Structure 1
Amino acid sequence: MKRERRHFDKEFKMMAVNLCLSGKPTREVADELGIRVELVTRWKREYHQYKEGSFSGHGNVNMTDEQKEIARLNKALRDAQEERDILKKAVSIFSKNDGKFSNS
């Protein structure tokens, strides 16, 4: 039988991290909350990396300001390359002179 996946809200995760930061061992916090030690360890790592931006939920990726800027620039580059490719095709189509539309 398939076990249903448990979901933890941001407040629960912050509480677990705060208990660890207050000096309690990670294993003890996990045992008290009835969760795996690996979860608490991952939540601590995410908190140390993103601070208050941690635990955005639903698979949303937390990014630093630099990572956000890189992602924005990569998107702009892809858009510009796509526009360039379209224009190249259009130029090649319109530059073909087969005499159909000219009065010569």
Structure 2
Amino acid sequence: MSRQKTHHTKQFKLDTINYRKEYPDLTQVECAKNLGIGVSTLARWKAQVRDNDDDIPVISSGSYASEEEKEIARLKRELRDAQDALDV
């Protein structure tokens, strides 16, 4: 059984980073556990905020940063559909 991907809002991500800053005595693991997210997710969001002047870039559903990303998404869908057909 595959795990469904959770989509968090931009505000939730920014609030998470602020929570981490407000409680420097907590470890990153403790912060992630308190917020119900993975440690790697918290680390990724921290890096995104650091690299984007205290903001998190958000790509809406169906919007791609480049034509390459759009093509990759199309190919992934095509591969998934082919795998599903083989499973049947």
TM-score when normalising by structure 2: 0.58
Gap runs ≥5 in structure 2? 66-88
**Cα distance in 1, alignment partners of residues 64 and 29 from structure 2:** 27
TM-score when normalising by structure 1: 0.50
Shift of 1:26: 1.5
Greater C-alpha radius of gyration: 1
Q: List structure 1 segments (4+ residues) > 2 angstroms apart after TM superposition.
A: 57-61
Q: CA RMSD in A?
A: 1.9
Given candidates 22, 30, 34, the residue that maps to 1:28 is 30
What is the aligned residue count? 61
2:16 aligns with: 16
Tell me the amino acid that sits aligned with residue 14 of structure 1: L
Higher relative contact order, structure no. (Cα contacts within 8 Å, ≥ 6 residues apart): 2
Deviation readout 1:61-90 (Å, 9 max, x if unpaired): 5xxxxxxxxxxxxxxxxxxxxxxxxxxxxx
Identity %: 26
Gap runs ≥5 in structure 1? 62-104
